Structures are given as structure tokens and as C-alpha cells.
Amino acid sequence: MLKITGYADRVSAMPGDAVRFMINCEYPAYQASVVRVVQGDTAPEAPPVKLVPVPTSIDGRYPGRPQVIHAGSFGRVDCERGFAGVSSLSLQAMIFPTTPQKGRQAILSKWDEAAGRGIAMIVAADGSLGIEISDGTTRKTLSVGKPMLSRHWYFAAVSYDAATGALQVHQEPQHDFPTIDDRGSASDTVPAGLSWQSAAPLLFAANWGGEDLGRTVGRALYNGKIDRPRVSGASLSLADMQELRGDLWSERLGGSLIGAWDFSRDIPGIRMDDISGREHHGVVVNMPTRGVTGHNFTGEDGMCWKDRPTQWSAIHFHDDDIYDAGWQVDFSLTIPEGMKSGIYAVRIEAEGEEQFVTFVVRPPRGKPGSKLAFLFPLATYMAYANEHFGTNDGLVELHLNRALVLHPHQQFLNEHREYGHSLYDLHSDGSGVCYSSRLRPVLNLRPKVEANHGAGPSHLWLFNADTHITSWLENFDQDYDVITDEDLHAEGHGLLRDYQTVVTATHPEYYTKEMYDAVHRYTHGGGRLIYLGGNGFYWRIAYHATQPGIIEVRRSEGGSRAWEPPTGEYYHSFTGEYGGMWRRQGNRSPNHLVGVGFTAQGFDQSSPYRRAPGADDARAAFILEGIEDEILGDFGLTGGGAAGMELDRHDVSVGSPPHSLVIASSGPHTEAHVFVVEDMLFNFMGATGDVCDKVRADLVFFETPQGGAVFSVGSIAYSGALPWNNFDNNISKLTLNVLRRFMDPTPFPMPTS
Amino acid sequence: MAKQDLEQLIQGRDLNELVAEFRAKTTGQHSPALQRLINRIRSEPMTGKLALLCTKPHEEWRLVQMNGRGKPMTLLDGIFHDLNDAEWAIFKLRMKRHFDIDLQD
């Protein structure tokens, strides 16, 4: 099991920037150094691993120390003055529990877990609503005793009367079902004047487990939604608490309110606004999901939270949400002036174990160091961060059509769920993960790592597969800058403007509007884009406006997707933008941008391309210059062919420019390569690679305005063919032909009709 | 799984031929009957699924049984130095598990 993990506070840095590294190391000491990552594939069939040592100020030996992650989201309100002199209390909310049978879970609490003291409205161990109260000596839990249904709304309310010692619990389902007995109340008595007051802050969806190195620790974490929580400094009747369910209440009830929180405010942010007038505002911790439907969602008043925010006044908390691991800094690297732009990693070594933390050195803003840029798809790496494909869903083996091979980091992540999930995973309550942060160790963003999805012999996916491209560039002495799409999101077209050519990675799948528009403006302003991958520019995503390093996806409406958002949750909470495939976003399909779009996927074996009629067009002569072969790429490190894994097809009806040329097409593919669901409105047979001619990768070229051009390969496996036979093969030669012409500033003339 | 289910999967093909086909080529395009058969036996849920843990990159794999989300896997007897041999070992175990058929190397 891994004993070293780590992350950096930023992935992209330019000379002068400081990058802070946080390391968890269970060994007494470790050695740290920096390498420039050129080739990270350890397969014997691949060129030798090339990690170039780069002496820096961080080189040295450091003491190891364990660092832990406190996962689980909750809301925190610091309002001690609001509780001053309060002895009777009422807690209430509309709740939508998603794991009522999980065990004790706090919904609203002022409870110190370590001291065993406080008061809390809970999902009790029996799955019903309860109240828990303790002065540290006398402890009482009272529950309704009728388990709540998962994924149904309930009015939940509890109270303690300090004058009489009376406890009340009320559990009212929003919908009654025959055969389901889940409505009820319970009452009991504990000593009057029980001193439940504690140092705990008011928390939503957790009990207070203390503070650990600046991080609030949540315990008894709740899974599910909370809507319209209210806290009153009095023991209210059931009728009074029912009145407080809404958004308006009498002055009499307002007088006893300590807080009433409206989660429909600041959905894109982290605030939880108190609308009681007491100004007891709070914040969310570990990024629970916002922009989710509340108990009063109708579906009749719009489907976006911006249409009628009051119907989205809920937050979905998960016991495995994680945003910022918040580790202590172990060392910091200030990027030296003149440090070459490229992909780097800090290498941590101890007692035979090795770990990497990957980062990028970009050129100073406005001062490219090369005319060629490699566009590092950080957003997509984040989308796949710590994926659990191999350990969550048994059907993965049918996806791969080969045995499931797990790697040590996946074994670790399966047991260390606090490291958080990828955008492909489900939370522990079965809901889709729609946020992913890079402020935690990302164990699949490093050289030498293998994955489930990439076929043999290399078995690479995303970052490490992308080092086939960087090693190919360096083999042919191509100087290049490395820039990240996160910077592209922030800076737009200006980041690309001065490059003659931009080369993508193997799978640049996740794009914000800003990223998409910047690439589009680049290709339409004379820029040259080489898209060396498959299934690119597919999902729309959003970045958070105030919290760095976190992205959101809402897998709306269709597409090849790991989960489906609930009705009413198709819009990003971070921006209010409609989520889903770019293809559904109006003239922004990948085909519009790069001439091809996702058409099939399969992960067992790849296939070659064959020349297509476009190869004979004089406009494409430079591409196949010196290549006589009919078959292109019947070899490779990813499945033994240049076309495989995820494939894109040229299709004018989906947006491919009519003047684009198809130079080559792949196939036939294996039966495991299956036509995408977004093109399959009815299920039909004959949709697999052995029989369906739409299961193919098209290699496409087209000219763009102002002398620009785009070359697309439409296959994730393509880059695995580049290093084959020591980079001496027809795919490598073809790609080099394209790169050399693209680096020539001579404008591409637009073809005439 | 009952024997008649196996018949439905292989639809008259000689099982020995299908087994030999898999042994000769574990990955990629298979004949329709073999693909049906392996689709069926690979449909195991994550709890109880046979899988491989890579213990030396590109050199060594250990047979494991998955025990469900979040639960440690069980290391089983079986260490392989070729993925095809590992696939074959899993195939044999599943033929026994699903159809009570003993296959020999």
C-alpha cells in the first residue's frame, strides 16, 4: 500500500512563481528532487523512460510525516453570540436523506464529538429522525423509530424545552405511500436545564470533530440534501415549526430565530446566507453540491436555478466530498528565471518507494519561449483525478473486454475514499460526482503510472500516454512550450496568440466556454492546431469563480456518461451555464472546432487507418509526402494500432467544415468498440466496430481563416504509435510532415469552390 | 449457472474449440460464441470479481478477488508473468465457478 502521496498548490507556474508542495510520507525521511518529464511509459516495448534530473533549490532530504485528509462536506456557522443565554432550542429543516440506514448522521448540530456534549438533530442509528442531547454526563438520544425512505423529502424538527426537560421529535414525509409507515413523533423527558452548550460551532450535515491544523473536522457526516434549516432559541410547538418551513413567518417567531438559512443565495459561491436578520451567515466546507433542487421544486417554473432560485434552496452534502486537503507545506520551489517551459515533477523517494507530484512551467505571460505549444489538458486530468473505474462498478470488465488489472494507486484509492473521487465516480450515496479538485493528491497524474483503459502493451491513459507526444517532439528536436488549459480558461486567446502551432494531448475532453472560444479564435486567426487525440472538446465544464482548482460538470441530457444528474440539476452551480456535451450547445460541437467528433469507444485492441479519397487531394499532399503505404499505423503501444480507445468521425451534419478533407479512416474495429449513445436515438443492432462503419477514426485536415489550419487524428491510441520502432514509422513521419508544414508561417490558402 | 445456459451461449459450437480460441488469443475480436460466453462470465459484480493486481510494472501480476467498494481486495494464489496466462487462469476459474467445468492447461 502506498506510503507516499503529495500534491502542489498549483500545477502551472511561471518563473518567479512559488509552488508549494505538501507531502504525506509514512517513512522517517525522504529524498526530494525535480525531473523534467519527457517519457513516462515503463513498458519494455516503449522507448526508455526519460525523466531528466533538474537541479533546484528543493533538492535534499526531508523528514517524513503522515498527513491525513478530512473528507466530508458540511456547513459551518460561527454564531456563539446567537446562542448566548439560550437554553431551550428548536432545530428544523426539510431533508432528503440519501443513506438513512448508514448509521448516526448529524443534520443540524451544535455538538462536540470529542466531549460527547451538545445538541443535534440527527438521522438516528435506526434510520429515523432523532434528537441527541448531552451535557457530557447525561446523554439522551430520542428517535421516531420509523425509518425514513432514501431520496424522499421529510419535514424534520426537534426541540428541547429547558424549563421542563421535554424533548420532541417530528418526522413528516412530504409524500405518503401506502404500506410505508414513516410519519411520526416522539417525546421524552430529560433533566430540565440540561447544560448542552459546548464549544462546537453550529454545523449542518456534521458534528464537530474539533480542529486539526486549521481544518474543521466533520464527524457523523450526513448524506443527502438539506433545505431551509432554521434554529430557534426556544422550544417551539409543532405548529410554529411548520410555519417556519416557508420563507415568511410571523414576527413572533422571528423573534426567537437564531438563524434561517437560504441556500438559494450565493449558489455559485460558498456562503450560506442567514435571512433571519441575525446575520449569522456561514460557509460550506469541502464543496457540497449546490444548485440542486429543493423540496418545493415543481419542474414547471423553469429548469435552471437562476429561473426560480427559491426552488433550488437545497445543498446536497456527501460524506466523501473533498475540496482542499489543507496539508502542511513541506517545501516550496520558486521557479527560477530562465527555467525552460515544460512538464516537470517533484520526485519523492524513500525506502524503495517513489512518488511524483506533476507540475508545469509555463513561459512568462506574453513571452513565449517557442513558436510551438503543447496544450496540457489539466481540466481533463482533474476530471479523471483518482478515478475508481476498476474498483466501483463490476461492469468495467465488459467495457474493457479484457481482465481487470489494478495498480497500487487504485488499490490505495479504493480503501482511502477520503482522497476523493473523479467526475466518473459515484459518491458513497450513489449520486454522481460533479466537482473535482486538484488541491489533493492526484495519484494518476504522474509518470510511470498505468491505467485500466489504455490497451496494451503500455496500458496508459491521459497524462502518461501524453508523454508519448512529448517524447516524440523531443526525439525530433522540436522545441516547445507547455501551457495548461486552466491558464487558457483564465487568459483566453492571448495565451495562444503568439504560437505558430498548438498541439493537443491524447484526450482533451473537458472544456469551458472560455477554453473552447479561445481555441476557436486561435484557429480562426491564422493559428494551426494539431489535435493528436480522440473524444476531445466533448463535455462543457465550469470553474469556480472564487475557489481555485476545482471544476464542475453536469452530464446533462445525453452523451457517453458515467452518471445522470437528477431532473432540475442540469445547470452548473458555479456559473449557471447549461451543462452537457458541447455538441448540444449550439454550433460548438467538436466537429465545428476540429472537424471530427466522438463516435465510438472500446478498450481492447486498436486498428490501423487506411488512406481515404482525401489523401489524393493536392491540398493534402504535404501530409503524406514520402509515404507510399496504404495502411497507416498497424502498430502501436496502445492496443497495437494507431486507431482505438476513443474514436472521432468526420461528419458534416454534426458540424465538420464542408471543405475538410478525410485523409484516412480506420477500421474495422473490434466488437468492443461500440457506437456512441448520443448518435443512437433508438437502440439498434450492428453498432459495434466489427460491423458498423461509423465506428472509425477519421484523420482530417482543413484550412481556417487567415492562413490557419487544423489537423485531427480522432483517436486516443494515435500517440501510442508515434514512438513505435524508435519513432521510425509511417504515423510518426506523417505527423512530422504536418508539424513541419504547420510551423512554416506560409499561409494556407483557402480552397476555392 | 445451469448447463443449458452454457448451451444457449455457445449455440452448438464445440466448447473445446472455443476454449482453444481463447487460450490462443485472450484479447481483441473473438468469434460470436466465445464473445457471448466471456461476456457472461465477466459480468460478475465487483463483490467477488476476480481481477489482477500489478505487483511489478509490466512484469508481474497477482490474482485477487474484489470484495466491493471500499473494501480491501483478497490476494489469491496465482502469480503471473504474462497477462495472457493470467487471463487464462481467470477464464478457467470462472468456467468452474459458473459452469462447474474443469479445464486443463
pLDDT in tens, A459-483: 999 999 999 999 999 999 999 999 9
Identify which of B29, B64, B73 has the shortest CB distance to residue A671: B29
DSSP-derived 3-state class of residue A319: coil
Mean pLDDT of A117-140: 98
Of A338-347, A388-397, A595-604, give the lowest mean pLDDT range: A388-397
Is pLDDT at A199 greater than 80 in this prediction? yes
Identify which of B30, B52, B70 has the shortest CB distance to residue A403: B52
The set of residues, in sequence order, having a beta carbon less than 8 Å from that of A665 and lying 6+ positions away, is A609, A610, A612, A696, A697, A698, A699
Cβ contact B66–A391 (<8 Å): yes
Identify which of B35, B57, B87 has the shortest CB distance to residue A403: B87
> Is A390 within 8 Å of chain B by CB?
yes
Contact present, A158 and A92 (Cβ < 8 Å): yes
pLDDT at site B105: 84
Cβ within 8 Å of A, B 47-86: 47, 49-54, 57-58, 61, 64, 66, 69-73, 83, 86
The pLDDT > 70 percentage for chain A reads: 100
For testing contact with chain B, the best of A405, A421, A452, A458 (most B CBs within 10 A) = A405
User: Mean pLDDT in chain B?
Assistant: 95
Mean pLDDT of A91-120: 98
User: Mean pLDDT in chain A?
Assistant: 97
> Is B102 within 8 Å of chain A by CB?
no
* Block residue for cell numbers 463516435: A599
pLDDT at site A233: 98
pLDDT at site B4: 66
In sequence order, the β-bridge partners of residue A334 are A18
Q: Which residues of chain A neighbour B87 with C-beta distances below 8 Å?
A: 402-403
Identify which of A42, A411, A417 has the shortest CB distance to residue B58: A42
Cell of B55: 505487483
pLDDT digits (tens, 9 = 90+) for A25-50: 999 999 999 999 999 999 999 999 99
pLDDT at site A393: 86
Edge-to-edge strands, sheet with A631-632 = A481-484, A372-376, A501-503, A528-531, A708-712, A698-704, A661-666, A609-611, A631-632
Identify which of B45, B51, B90 has the shortest CB distance to residue A406: B51
pLDDT at site A394: 78
Is pLDDT at B89 greater than 70 in this prediction? yes
Domains of chain A, each with CATH number or no CATH = 4-69+327-361 (2.60.40.10), 74-317 (2.60.120.200), 376-743 (no CATH)
Cβ contact B57–A690 (<8 Å): no
Cβ contact A456–B26 (<8 Å): no
Return the number of other C-beta atoms located less than 10 Å from residue A560's C-beta. 17
In sequence order, the β-bridge partners of residue A159 are A90, A168
Give me the amino acid identity at A290: R
Cβ contact B43–A398 (<8 Å): yes
For testing contact with chain B, the best of A42, A388, A389, A391 (most B CBs within 10 A) = A391
Identify which of A403, A404, A671 has the shortest CB distance to residue B35: A671
Cβ contact A417–B70 (<8 Å): yes
Sorting pLDDT into bands at 50, 70 and 90, what band is A123?
A: very high
Is pLDDT at B3 greater than 70 in this prediction? no
Mean pLDDT of A529-545: 98
pLDDT digits (tens, 9 = 90+) for B49-70: 999 999 999 999 999 999 999 9
Give me the amino acid identity at B45: P
Please give the Cα distance from B27 to B48 (Å, whole number): 22
pLDDT digits (tens, 9 = 90+) for A295-319: 999 999 999 999 999 999 999 999 9
Mean pLDDT of A386-411: 94
Is pLDDT at A753 greater than 80 in this prediction? no
**Beta-strand relationship, A60-63 and A29-39:** antiparallel
Sorting pLDDT into bands at 50, 70 and 90, what band is A293?
A: very high
Give me the amino acid identity at B77: D
Please give the Cα distance from A700 to A529 (Å, whole number): 12
Q: Which residues of chain A neighbour B73 with C-beta distances below 8 Å?
A: 406, 411, 414
Cβ contact A406–B73 (<8 Å): yes
Contact present, B6 and B38 (Cβ < 8 Å): no
Sorting pLDDT into bands at 50, 70 and 90, what band is A19?
A: very high
Q: Which residues of chain B neighbour A44 with C-beta distances below 8 Å?
A: 58
Give CB contacts under 8 A, 24+ apart, made by B88-93: B88/B22, B88/B23, B88/B26, B89/B63, B90/A403, B90/B50, B90/B52, B90/B63, B91/B19, B91/B22, B91/B26, B91/B38, B91/B41, B93/B50
Contact present, B37 and B77 (Cβ < 8 Å): no
Which H or E run includes A381? helix A378-383
DSSP for A187-238? EEE--TT-----SPPEEESSEEEEEETTEEEEES---EEEEEEEEESS---H
The pLDDT > 90 percentage for chain A reads: 99
pLDDT at site A674: 97
Please give the Cα distance from A723 to A732 (Å, whole number): 7
Is pLDDT at A104 greater than 70 in this prediction? yes
For testing contact with chain B, the best of A45, A398, A414 (most B CBs within 10 A) = A414
Cβ contact B27–A604 (<8 Å): yes
Sorting pLDDT into bands at 50, 70 and 90, what band is B1?
A: low
Is pLDDT at A205 greater than 60 in this prediction? yes
Contact present, A148 and A169 (Cβ < 8 Å): no
Is pLDDT at B2 greater than 80 in this prediction? no
pLDDT digits (tens, 9 = 90+) for A637-660: 999 999 999 999 999 999 999 999
Angle at A487 between CA A483 and CA A492, to 5 degrees: 105
Q: Which residues of chain A neighbour B35 with C-beta distances below 8 Å?
A: 671
Closest C-alpha among A251, A258, A225, A62 to residue A156: A225
Cβ contact A403–B69 (<8 Å): no
DSSP state of A570: -
For testing contact with chain A, the best of B26, B41, B42 (most A CBs within 10 A) = B42
The set of residues, in sequence order, having a beta carbon less than 8 Å from that of B53 and lying 6+ positions away, is A405, A406, A407, A408, A411, B61, B62, B64, B73, B75
Identify which of B42, B57, B83 has the shortest CB distance to residue A398: B42
